[in-house]
Structure 1
Amino acid sequence: MKIAFVGKGGSGKTTLSALFTRHLAAAGLPVVAIDADINQNLGQALGVPAERLAAIPPLGSHLDTIKELLRGDNPRIGSAAEMVKTTPPGRGSHLLDASRDNDWHRRFGRPAAGATLMLTGPFSEDDLGVACYHSKVGAVELYLNHLVDGPGEYVVVDMTAGADSFASGMFTRFDVTFLVAEPTTRGVGVYRQYAEYAREYGVTIKVIGNKVEDAADEEFLREHVGDALAVCLRRSPFVRAMEKGRHPDLAELEEHNVKALAWMRDAVDAAPKDWARFTRQTVDFHRRNAAAWAAKATGADLEAQIDPGFEMGPAALAESRRAR
């Protein structure tokens, strides 16, 4: 299952992304954790030392390699240079599974807290003033578009803060979106904006109340987000320690917060997997981007990249494996 963590800056979405990743990995489940936030803090929240983080190849700096890998033998894509962040997979594309030893994870992933960690990468000095961060996040969008995740496999993505996630179609790539909200007017304001943008795309949004002190805080959240409120995490010495750079053993997490994480996993496992809609939305956003900018930027017929007889899912992954 593909899971996004979104919310306003400072809501605790990175901390909860790391905590949920640790919760899944501690149960022996295969987990991929991706830092797709402009502030690259997920690795630190997972307890990875700075020198090891510096050695992880940033996805945003290897777009040419990534495109060549994913293009495979797809006859509809003339070259990697003609691929953009929305280019959909088709027959002949190199599809990915969630295993730690696939080509992508071996190149760009590193172990972290029992999971496979990948980083989009920060702005470099050459990017400042001339590049958009979404060009780097495009590597994650390509990854998600080409990934066939199976039952009991999890991909956790720490997204950019606020409604910035809507700068691409990546917000439709997830089975569940956890929106982390503090019990404040600003905290719930991001939910209203996100829900409005996502409404017509069938995006499943579940609000996770964070930094909740008491029943009054929970009631405030419920008043403003209604049935979207899924579960609340209480103020936590464990989480405060994480935010200060310490990494207590997961066994020390407070019981009520352990139950909240378990509920979140149950919610993810219960979410329906709709590969037909996934494929349809991939194609839709590719057409939009082609018309808006991408066809002109590449000089290629990007509509021709769409394979009308192709649908993502387990059958497509099996065919991709046979072709390799």
Structure 2
Amino acid sequence: MRRFRAFTSLLIMKIAFTGKGGSGKSTVATLFVAHLRAAGHRVLAVDADVNVHLAPLLGVTAHSRGALSHPDNVTALRSHLIGDNTLIGGVQRFVATTPPGPGSRPVTLDPGDPVLAAHAVALDERTHVMHVGTYEPEEIGAGCYHGHLAILENLLSHLRTLDGDWVVCDMVAGTDAFANSLHAQFDAIVVVVEPTPESVTVARRYRELAAAAGVADLLVFVGNKVADEIDRDYLRRELGTEPLTVLTAQAGLRRARQLGVCPSLTDLDDATPLRRVAEHVRPVDPRRRRALLRDLHLKTAGKDWVRNAYGDVSDQLEPVTV
């Protein structure tokens, strides 16, 4: 019990990038990873978008066999995470919201961590890249992408990082992260928003859902492709607030992408917006996160389809102690 409490009390820096499709969220996430690497941080970058853009933008080829959501990898990863935790009841009862417990194995960003070794591509000894995966031909009409994201929820809830470590997730576009518990897994949720009606509509909807989910304080807006002061005023007016920072339209970045080159910090006129995002993030109180995830697990456990498929998974939670 003592070992598990030490594991769960550590502060974890996890940030998600989302927004309307085409807003540039994957590119901004890629540049943020580059900023963290340049600053000397250990980084785990996770491509959780069904379109799988972050991994290629970081120079990684995303093969289907290497996807976290590949059935073989799901089984292997969950088997590892269970460790000696007898509360789960076996891999067959591991659901998206299943929490770590006594005897669970944490995942770290150490280069020798078995999860990184099996499921990540190393850009260097301090930077690793994973991808959740996308639809495969045999899955057409047989399910939704939320099922793929369940293994990412398991990974995030079992992470243990050290001070200065970062986990950066490029999320699926739109508001799908509220389907399960992903919104409660991060220390910051960055909504990348263009100065267009469609993009700000998605951003406002994300804010509404974040408020309803109890994580409104973790949500920030980052303007992208901002050409002039008219664009800035448009974002302020339509969002009803000042964005945390804005990235202007970057000719160098656009040229690099036209050439098929991975984006880099040298393509930017000014990397200050990335630094502002990094400086803004603060670790969520572990007690708050545990309470959020506990409530979400109980909500999941109460669903009829979960009971029918997995039995009563509410017994995977440890008793609350005062």
TM-score > 0.5, shorter chain as reference: yes
Query: What's 2:9 paired with?
Result: none
Q: Pick the aligned partner of 2:110 from 84, 99, 104.
A: 99
Q: Pick the aligned partner of 1:246 from 261, 275, 287.
A: 261
What CA distance in whole angstroms lies between the structure 2 residues aligned with 1:179 and 1:304?
35
5 Å-filtered alignment, 1:138-287, equals 138-200=150-212, 201-203=214-216, 204-227=218-241, 229-244=243-258, 245-247=260-262, 249-255=264-270, 258-268=271-281, 271-287=282-298
Residue by residue over 1:184-226, the C-alpha shift from the partner in whole angstroms, topping out at 9 and shown as x without a partner, is 1111111111111111412411100000000110111011223
Structure 2 residue 92 is matched with structure 1 residue 81: yes
Given the superposition, is the C-alpha separation of residues 25 and 56 from structure 1 closer, same or farther in structure 2, using an over 3 Å criterion? farther
What CA distance in whole angstroms lies between the structure 2 residues aligned with 1:240 and 1:254?
12
Contact 2:27–2:263 under 8 Å retained in 1: no
Query: What's 2:40 paired with?
Result: 28
Q: Pick the aligned partner of 2:137 from 108, 120, 125.
A: 125
Query: What's 1:58 paired with?
Result: 67
What CA distance in whole angstroms lies between the structure 2 residues aligned with 1:272 and 1:43?
25
Task: State the number of aligned residues.
Answer: 303
Shift of 1:239: 2.3
Shift of 1:149: 2.7
What CA distance in whole angstroms lies between the structure 2 residues aligned with 1:15 and 1:111?
19
| Paired letter, 1:159 | M
What CA distance in whole angstroms lies between the structure 2 residues aligned with 1:112 and 1:97?
16
Contact 1:60–1:137 under 8 Å retained in 2: yes
Contact 1:8–1:161 under 8 Å retained in 2: yes
User: Secondary structure, in 3 states, of the residue corresponding to 1:227?
Assistant: coil
| Paired letter, 1:194 | Y
What CA distance in whole angstroms lies between the structure 2 residues aligned with 1:161 and 1:16?
13
What CA distance in whole angstroms lies between the structure 2 residues aligned with 1:296 and 1:100?
40
Shift of 1:309: 4.8
**4+ runs deviating over 4 angstroms:** none
Shift of 1:249: 5.0
| Paired letter, 2:289 | F
Residue by residue over 1:287-312, the C-alpha shift from the partner in whole angstroms, topping out at 9 and shown as x without a partner, is 111111322211x220110012589x
When normalised by structure 1's length, the TM-score is 0.88
What is the RMSD of the two structures over their aligned residues, measured on CA atoms?
1.9
Given the superposition, is the C-alpha separation of residues 128 and 242 from structure 1 closer, same or farther in structure 2, using an over 3 Å criterion? farther
User: Secondary structure, in 3 states, of the residue corresponding to 2:46?
Assistant: strand
Query: What's 2:5 paired with?
Result: none
What CA distance in whole angstroms lies between the structure 2 residues aligned with 1:228 and 1:115?
32
User: Secondary structure, in 3 states, of the residue corresponding to 1:217?
Assistant: helix
User: Secondary structure, in 3 states, of the residue corresponding to 1:60?
Assistant: coil
Shift of 1:15: 0.7
What CA distance in whole angstroms lies between the structure 2 residues aligned with 1:248 and 1:12?
12
Which one is further off, 144-153 or 76-85? 144-153
Query: What's 1:316 paired with?
Result: none
What CA distance in whole angstroms lies between the structure 1 residues aligned with 2:140 and 2:256?
30
What CA distance in whole angstroms lies between the structure 1 residues aligned with 2:181 and 2:234?
31
Residue by residue over 1:21-45, the C-alpha shift from the partner in whole angstroms, topping out at 9 and shown as x without a partner, is 1111122210110011110111111
Contact 1:241–1:247 under 8 Å retained in 2: no
Shift of 1:97: 2.3
Unmatched 5+ residue regions in structure 1?
A: 312-324
Which one is further off, 235-244 or 7-16? 235-244
Which one is further off, 89-98 or 138-147? 89-98
Contact 1:45–1:243 under 8 Å retained in 2: no
Shift of 1:242: 4.4
Given the superposition, is the C-alpha separation of residues 226 and 17 from structure 1 closer, same or farther in structure 2, using an over 3 Å criterion? same
Given the superposition, is the C-alpha separation of residues 266 and 56 from structure 1 closer, same or farther in structure 2, using an over 3 Å criterion? farther
What CA distance in whole angstroms lies between the structure 2 residues aligned with 1:137 and 1:103?
21
What CA distance in whole angstroms lies between the structure 2 residues aligned with 1:279 and 1:82?
20
User: Secondary structure, in 3 states, of the residue corresponding to 1:59?
Assistant: coil
Identity %: 35
